[in-house]
Amino acid sequence: MQLTDVPLISRSTLFGNPERGVCKISPCGGWLAFVAPHHAVMNVWVCEIGPDPVASIRDARPVTDDRGRGIHDFIWAHDGVHLLYHQDQNGDENAHLYAVPFRGGPLRDLTPFAGAKASLQDANRRQPSCVLVSINHRDPRFSDLYRIELASGESTLAQQNPGYFGFVTDDEYRVRLAIEPKPDGSRVLLKWDAGTWTPWRHISVADSANTWPQGISADGRTLYMLDSAGRDTAALVSFDLDRDADNPKIIAQHASADVVGMWTDVQTHEPLAWFAVAERREIHVLSDRLAPDVAHLDGQGLGEWSVASRSDDDKRWIVLATTDVAPVAFYLYERAGKMLTKLYDARPALSKVPLARMQHTTLTSRDGLSMVTYLTLPVHADKREETARSTEPLALVLLVHGGPQLRDYWGYNPMHQWLANRGYAVMSVNYRASTGFGKAFVAAGDGQWGAKMDDDLVDAVEWAIARGIADPSRICIMGGSYGGYAALWSMTANPDLYACGVDIVGPSNLATLAASIPPYWEAAKTQFFRMIGDPATEEGRALLEGRSPVHRAARIRKPLLIAHGANDPRVKQAESDQMAAAMKKNGIPVSYVLFSDEGHGFTRPANSIRFNAITEQFLSRFIGGRFEPLVPAEVEGNSAVFVEDAL
């Protein structure tokens, strides 16, 4: 088989609006809501569940009429009246919380504060008439808690924030704990006691990356946490809130990965199952009540599945499922008869095209760290009888995740599928500082931007070359946010390794990045500065300057594509402006495209498709894959403007 034998998958099929998106069941169990295009923009639709749920979906009606960035997620309120969702303006991340009656009625902004960021803290069945919302309109650095009545929109201050990360609340919306940051990067859980905050549990600097409260039991007595104290990986533990915090009960732990989540009982909130992800996601059942359902769903050939929502009586679930070669599908699961009904595929058109499998493996860095890595080979070049083997050396795209305290996962990945379909091997490596692999792995990235974190990426590329997967003359490094920084830095540090690079919303000057972080990052800035360098110290300032790609632009010898959103609050447009100017000053060709109505990444389909079309042409020119000619209709209304164009 040759690449030309594999049909070209259109960008609009991969990156346009899905036919339908996330689906959730109402608390009463009688209604479904989901997102789908309405006037070509994602909106919320609802339907009552009839005898044939699939027919009910077809008869659904839209209840919102957004004409801008679209609505991609929502929740059901417990008042039996409203649906709730967040939305910002053109990527500025100052999200407001909106409410709309699901049977029809006017849309209302529950948090109409200009320039403020709102986030839903809780909306639970014991307080059906109101929700608890964090809003930073009093002080942009710290969010206060407000109780908002859904019927009237009236808000009441529940807890002012004097400088904390946030609060832990119970089902009565009482504030039980606060998370206080300390100057050294550690944190303290404070307990509300007789009208004052008193220290209850100290979280060390080493544990701060993967130790977080998860919730409080319905009776208010037990705190559930992910906690790495005394071990490397985060375990699921519980604390009796009426006693001291020195003797947690360990509920579950994993040998090589953090516990990253749990399913809880609808009524009591006790954990019923927990999850961890090393190379692949694992479900571990704690309760006999859940075991028959997990066993049944595991046997349905769904791939990796999870529960998207549940009715309040826990009799009906919405299950979402995906594999590496199938985008998400949604099912209605009725527990009493173990009846599973497929509602829809999010992107049914992709069932008709050849998707490439994603393989997983673990590489070893030069200093001995284990790095979980995902590899997608083009369909025509995948030696399916062997693991991580291609029929020939291929052009390789090293796709670097952002964060850096995030991680890559196995599963359906549209970027991997797109690039593999164009003829590239695609590799994503969980380099040091990635989350989910224990606190030591995260801490190994402190102060290592542009140093050992870059070494990890180079080690992965050299592994792919040595294995015969990658053609050493046709390698691109590409990523967003930290991944964009990694692309910029590595092209200065390893100018002969990469044939080209793609930087998406990446920082180029760590000093200006540190000076322009959003105000609501105030409580987390010590931890951030531990990663990149502290601008308050001479040593830190030297590190910030020495690890900034903008000061090394003259070392870049290969083509570079830069993209940014003009409203990015995390990595300001100035980061890309500086890099493009530095390259131009040094006489190095650069292509720089700016999107006026985007922020930290590209949300509107017309913009993401336009950028991917630009990237396709860029990659085709410099490492030789194929590209789909641009169809004007697929990018109608995009906001791309070339600031510099060396293509």
Q: Which of 293, 600, 608, 639 is catalytic?
A: 600
Same domain? For 343 and 398 the reply is no
pLDDT band at 390 (very low <50, low <70, confident <90, very high): very high
| 424 part of a folded domain | yes
Q: What local confidence, expressed as pLDDT, does residue 214 receive?
A: 95
- 48: how many CB neighbours lie within 10 A of its CB? 12
pLDDT on residue 338: 96
Diameter over CA atoms, the chain:
73
- The Cα–Cα gap between 566 and 602 comes to 11
Dihedral over alpha carbons 215, 285, 252, 442 (to 10 degrees): -80
Q: Are residues 29 and 132 in the same domain?
A: yes
Closest alpha carbon to 429 in 506, 359, 532, 510: 359
Q: Which two tokens stand for residue 347?
A: 């992107």
From 331, 351, 371, give the residue that closes a domain.
Answer: 351
Q: What is the pLDDT of residue 598?
A: 97
Question: Is 152 labeled as catalytic in the residue annotation?
Answer: no
Rounded distance between C-alpha atoms, residue 110 and residue 504, angstroms: 33
Q: Is residue 236 part of a domain?
A: no
Looking at 308, 336, 351, the residue that finishes a domain is 351
Q: Looking at the structure, do residues 445 and 458 belong to the same domain, yes or no?
A: yes
- Interval 38-86: pLDDT, tens: 999 999 999 999 999 999 999 999 999 999 999 999 999 999 999 999 9
Domain final residue pick, 311, 329, 351:
351
Asked if 239 contacts 225 with a C-beta cutoff of 8 angstroms, the reply is yes
Q: Are residues 321 and 381 in the same domain?
A: no
Query: Can you tell me the mean pLDDT for 425-431?
Result: 98
Total structural domains within the chain = 2
CATH of the domain at 329: 2.120.10
Residue 138: per-residue pLDDT: 96
Q: CA-CA distance, 121 to 171, in Å (whole number)?
A: 11
Among 143, 306, 311, 481, the one annotated catalytic: 481
Tell me the pLDDT band of 351, cut-offs 50, 70 and 90: very high
- Nearest Cα neighbor of 449 from 395, 497, 510, 503 is 510
Give the residue-averaged pLDDT of 358-382: 97
Model pLDDT for residues 459-499, shown as the tens digit of each residue:
999 999 999 999 999 999 999 999 999 999 999 999 999 99
Catalytic choice (568, 576, 591, 639): 568
Segment 548-567 shows an average pLDDT of: 96
Residues 405, 454, single domain; the answer is: yes
The residue-averaged pLDDT of 588-606 equals 95
Give residue 67's domain range: 15-212+300-351
Q: What is the CATH number of the domain that holds 390?
A: 3.40.50.1820
Q: Both 336 and 474 in a single domain?
A: no
In a domain? residue 330: yes
329, 444: one domain: no
Kindly give the pairing relationship between strand 470-480 and strand 394-400: parallel
Same domain, 356 and 440: yes
Q: 619, 646, 647, 561: which is closest to 396 by C-alpha?
A: 619
Q: Specify the pLDDT at position 199.
A: 94
Left (φ > 0), alpha (ψ -120 to 50) or beta: where does 41 sit? Answer: beta
pLDDT for the residue numbered 31: 98
pLDDT band at 421 (very low <50, low <70, confident <90, very high): very high
pLDDT on residue 60: 97
What digits encode the pLDDT tens for the residues 311-331? 999 999 999 999 999 999 999
Q: What is the pLDDT of residue 245?
A: 77
Give Rg (Cα) of the chain.
25
Residue 247 confidence (pLDDT) above 90:
no
Let me know if residue 476 belongs to a domain. Answer: yes
Q: Quick one: pLDDT at residue 521?
A: 85
- On whether both 90 and 154 belong to a single domain, the answer is yes
Within this chain, do residues 321 and 415 fall inside the same structural domain, yes or no? no
Query: What are the distances in angstroms from CA 435 to CA 138, 166, 361, 372, 456?
Result: 32, 21, 17, 11, 15
481 counts as catalytic: yes
Quick one: 492 and 637 in the same domain?
A: yes
**Do 575 and 637 sit in the same domain of this protein?**
yes
Identify which of 633, 639, 570 has the alpha carbon closest to the alpha carbon of residue 599: 570
- Domain presence at residue 229: no
What is the C-alpha to C-alpha distance for residues 307 and 268, in angstroms, rounded to an integer? 18
By DSSP bridging, strand 394-400 and strand 425-429 are parallel
Whether residue 387 lies inside any domain: the answer is: yes
**pLDDT over 90 at 527, yes or no:** no
Cβ of 632: how many Cβ atoms within 10 Å?
A: 7
Residue 540 within a domain = no
pLDDT of the residue at 55: 97
Q: Mean pLDDT across the chain, nearest whole number?
A: 95
Asked whether residue 136 is domain-assigned, the answer is yes
Mean pLDDT within 393-407:
96
* pLDDT(244) > 80: no
CA angle 636, 637, 640 (to 5 degrees): 105
